Structure formats: structure tokens, C-alpha cells
Amino acid sequence: MNFRKLEQLVDVRASITGHKTKQFPVVGIERKEDIALHHSLTKMHLSGSNAEGYANYHVYTLGWPGIGYHFVIEENGTIKWCNNLDLRTYHVGNFNNQAIGICLSGDFRIEQPTDAQKQSLRHLVEALKIDLPNYKRTLGHNDYPGYARKQCPVFDWKSVLASKSIAPITLENSTHVIKKGDTLWEIAAGNHITVAKLLSLNPNLDPYHLRIGQTIQLAAGKNREVIGHATVLVPFLNRRAEASFNSKITGAIRKGQQLEVYGIKNGLYDIGSLGWISAGTKYTRFEPTISELPNGILRRGDRGEGVKQLQRALNTVNFHVGEEDGIFGRKTKDGVSRFQSVYLPNEIDGIYGPNTKRELERRLLE
């Protein structure tokens, strides 16, 4: 999917508020022919004028299964991905089956979208027009039959989409270094995010004991390499603060949610700012992102990116070697030997070479 490559995209599907029992029906992405544009009718500077605030209102006040939009574009250009594209969410009545809903934060009766929002809207619509197999049109909420009375989305979105799109933006101030006198509230307010969001992006942060010189995340990191995607197979799966089954439970992820995985440690997947989840095959289905395996020979004592690629591949095919630290030590040699004992029984030497590479590639593609 092209939209997943956008640098300003943040996947909040697993963390955003959802109803405990209700779910949006699956209608299939092939039925999605429209992109429907909305504004939130909430002023940008208000604390709840974001995807999380809209989700809370839709679930707790309206009783909906979840947030009604597929995407929310916030003031600084962040694109929050809130729902799978194949779901019938609630945002344009009788046309929900066929429409992908995009909401821009703001009350555009009295204010205008920011340049960052406009640019993100162009990028997102351009990507979705490619990703939706039966795409036909983009409309404002009030363009749909029966909704002409709606003051939504109000702004001149046609001119925005007609403008020449420039290279995808990278959010400014993706990190902040703690200075003397800083408080989480001041950091959040100065970067147009909530304290709750700051804490979700920094699960190990102690809000009462900030350390001068400490670096915290202001946006979901895009510089980390995704090694694959994990789909939750059970009704609810606990999220943990650290790579340990004994660590604090910070929340849960619902069945069917797909998450980007950045690594594996102690039998848990690293899912970025959301923390860690079990890597057990009973709980999650893992689909690796196939990356090039190193050439040549690797043995105990070697170090570097090639060793890290080997460790990642072994972890992916369940010959676990622990942390992917780029050091070919005892655990990595043991992992290679165990793999060879299954797939190269006549070549069990714990040394990575062309034959081991060939068999690893085959297992990764299964």
C-alpha cells in the first residue's frame, strides 16, 4: 500500500479508543470507490481536537464501534491511520460502504487548514487513488446526496488537491531534549500534542522525574527499520512496557489489528511506541519484510550489519538468538547450528555461508 510509505503517517489503529464489544463491519476494499473529506468542527488549538479526542466522543458519547474516520490529519500534518480500509465506518451515512473517510482537524468555518495539513491531504489522496482498486472520485461531505446542508468540509479542497504536490514532508521536532525547568505539559503544549500522547510515545518515561539531557519522542519514529508485521489472533492481547512478560501491562490490542514490528526479544515483538506483545504463534501471525541476507561467510567473533541481518532472519523463522545486536556470539552460533540441524543436517558447523543463506531465504519466503 502506497499510503503506508508516507513519512507523516502514524498508525494508531491498535491504540485508539474502541468499543469493548462492537466492531465495524468488513465490506472489502474492492467496494471502496470514494474518498470523502470532512473537517472536525473543533478548533485546532483545543486539547481534544485530534484523533484520540474524536474516538472518545464517537465511542463513549455516540456508542459507535470506534472512530468514524479512516484517517485524521492533524494541525502539524500528522496523518493518523485509525481504521482498516476495508471497514464500513460511520462518516457519510448511506455512502459509508463505498467511502474512505478523511477528517482534517479544525473548524474551517472560522479558520483554514494549515499548509502542513494541505500537503498531507494531497499526499494521502494521491496514494489512496493508487491503492483503492476501484477508486472513482473524491468528494466533500456536503457533495453527497442528502448532505448539501452540511457545512463540511467548507474549505476549498479542490484547489488544495489541484495544487502541485511537493516531496513528502518530515515532521519537525520529532524529538525533544529535556532542559532545566521543563514539564511534560509545557513540552506537549509547545508541540501541539497531548500529555497522554507524549506518554504513549515514551512508555518508559517517568513524568515526575524528568532528567536533564534526556531525549524523548514527539512523533512516532520513522527511522527504525520495520522487520515485518504481526496480526493479533486472539480477542485481546496485552501490551507490555518492556521486553519481559513480567513487565507492566500498558493496554491491550484487539483481534485483527496489524502492527509494525521492529525487533524481537525474550519472546516478545517490539511494536515501537506501543511497547511489546507476545511473539507466540498462538497469539500473533508474523509476516516478515524480506530483506537481503548478507553474502560471504560469518562466524563467531564477527560483528556488523551483516550479523544483524542474520540474527533478524533467524529470529523471524523461529530459531531465536535473542537481541539483534550485530555480534556473532554464542547464541547466534547456536541459532545457526540449530537451523542447520533441521535444513542442512550434513553441514552443522555453526558458520553462516552460501548454503545456509539459500535455506534461510527459502524459509523467509514460506
Res 313: pLDDT: 85
Q: What is the pLDDT along the chain (366 residues), one digit of tens a residue?
A: 778 878 788 888 988 999 999 999 999 999 999 999 999 999 998 888 999 999 999 999 999 999 999 999 999 889 999 999 999 999 999 999 999 999 999 999 999 999 889 989 999 999 899 889 899 999 999 999 999 999 999 999 999 998 754 444 333 446 777 877 777 777 765 565 667 667 767 767 777 788 887 778 776 544 456 777 888 898 888 888 888 888 888 878 888 888 878 777 888 888 876 788 998 888 898 876 655 688 899 999 999 988 998 998 888 777 889 888 899 999 999 999 999 999 999 999 999 999 999 888 777 755
Residue-range definition of the domain harbouring residue 328: 305-365
Within 8 A by CB and 6+ apart from 302, the residues are: 328
Query: How distant is the alpha carbon of residue 97 from its chain centre?
Result: 24
Output Rg (C-alpha) for the chain, integer angstroms: 23
- Predicted model pTM: 0.51
Res 166: pLDDT: 42
Residue 75 φ then ψ, to 5°: -55, -40
Within 8 A by CB and 6+ apart from 334, the residues are: 321, 350
294 within a domain of the structure (yes/no): no
Asked if the bond preceding 288 is cis, omega within 30° of 0, the reply is no
Structure confidence by residue, pLDDT tens digits, 262-277: 777 888 888 876 788 9
Res 338: pLDDT: 94
Count: domains in the chain: 4
121 within a domain of the structure (yes/no): yes
Beta bridge partners of 100: 35
Nearest to 242 by CA among 217, 218, 274, 210: 274
Give the helix ranges, DSSP H, for 284-346: 305-316, 330-343
Task: Tell whether 191 and 256 lie within a shared domain.
Answer: no
We report the CATH number of the domain holding residue 260 as: 2.30.30.40
Kindly state the DSSP code that residue 47 receives in the 8-state scheme: T
76 within a domain of the structure (yes/no): yes
Nearest to 34 by CA among 136, 128, 173: 136
18 within a domain of the structure (yes/no): yes
Structure confidence by residue, pLDDT tens digits, 136-153: 999 999 999 999 999 999
User: Whole-angstrom Cα distance, residue 296 to residue 350?
Assistant: 14
Task: Tell whether 333 and 240 lie within a shared domain.
Answer: no
Task: Tell whether 9 and 158 lie within a shared domain.
Answer: yes
Residue by residue, DSSP assigns 112-175 as: ---HHHHHHHHHHHHHHHHHSTT--EEEEGGGSTT-TT---S-S-HHHHHHSPP-SPP--S--E
142 within a domain of the structure (yes/no): yes
C-alpha cell at 281: 504463534
Res 142: pLDDT: 94
Task: Tell whether 157 and 22 lie within a shared domain.
Answer: yes
- Where b means 16+ CB within 10 Å and e means fewer, 270-282 reads bbbbbbbbbbeee
Res 290: pLDDT: 55
169 within a domain of the structure (yes/no): no
Within 8 A by CB and 6+ apart from 262, the residues are: 224, 225, 226, 227, 270, 271, 272
Task: Tell whether 38 and 114 lie within a shared domain.
Answer: yes
Task: Tell whether 149 and 238 lie within a shared domain.
Answer: no
Task: Tell whether 81 and 205 lie within a shared domain.
Answer: no
What are the distances in angstroms from CA 131 to CA 54, 256, 308?
A: 26, 20, 33
